[in-house]
Chains A and B, each alone.
Chain A
Amino acid sequence: AQSVTQPDIHITVSEGASLELRCNYSYGATPYLFWYVQSPGQGLQLLLKYFSGDTLVQGIKGFEAEFKRSQSSFNLRKPSVHWSDAAEYFCAVGAPWGTYKYIFGTGTRLKVLA
Chain B
Amino acid sequence: GAGVSQTPSNKVTEKGKYVELRCDPISGHTALYWYRQSLGQGPEFLIYFQGTGAADDSGLPNDRFFAVRPEGSVSTLKIQRTERGDSAVYLCASSPGTSGTTDTQYFGPGTRLTVL
- Report whether chain A binds chain B: yes
Q: Which residues of A contact B95 (CB under 8 A)?
A: 100
Tally A-B pairs: CB < 8 A.
69
Interface-located stretch among A11-19, A61-69, A72-80, A104-112: A104-112
When the two chains form their complex, are residues B4 and A43 in contact, meaning their CB atoms are under 8 A apart?
Answer: yes
B104 nearest in chain A by CB position = A46
Chain A proximity of B9: nearest CB distance (Å): 9
* Known A102-B45, A104-B44, A106-B42: A44·B91 in contact at CB below 8 Å: yes
Task: Let me know if B20 is at the binding interface, CB within 8 A.
Answer: no
Chain A proximity of B110: nearest CB distance (Å): 7
When the two chains form their complex, are residues A102 and B105 in contact, meaning their CB atoms are under 8 A apart?
Answer: yes
Interface residues of B in 58-102 (CB under 8 A from A): 58-59, 91, 93, 95, 100-102
When the two chains form their complex, are residues A43 and B110 in contact, meaning their CB atoms are under 8 A apart?
Answer: yes
Q: Which single member of A43, A92, A98, A107 contacts B3 (CB below 8 Å)?
A: A43
Q: Which single member of A46, A94, A101, A105 contacts B42 (CB below 8 Å)?
A: A105
Chain A proximity of B13: nearest CB distance (Å): 21
Q: Which residues of B contact A106 (CB under 8 A)?
A: 40-42
A92 nearest in chain B by CB position = B42
Task: Let me know if A81 is at the binding interface, CB within 8 A.
Answer: no
Q: Which residues of B contact A104 (CB under 8 A)?
A: 35, 42-44
Provide 7 A-B residue pairs closer than 8 Å at the C-beta atoms, listed in order of the A residue: A42-B109, A43-B4, A45-B107, A90-B42, A102-B35, A103-B45, A104-B44
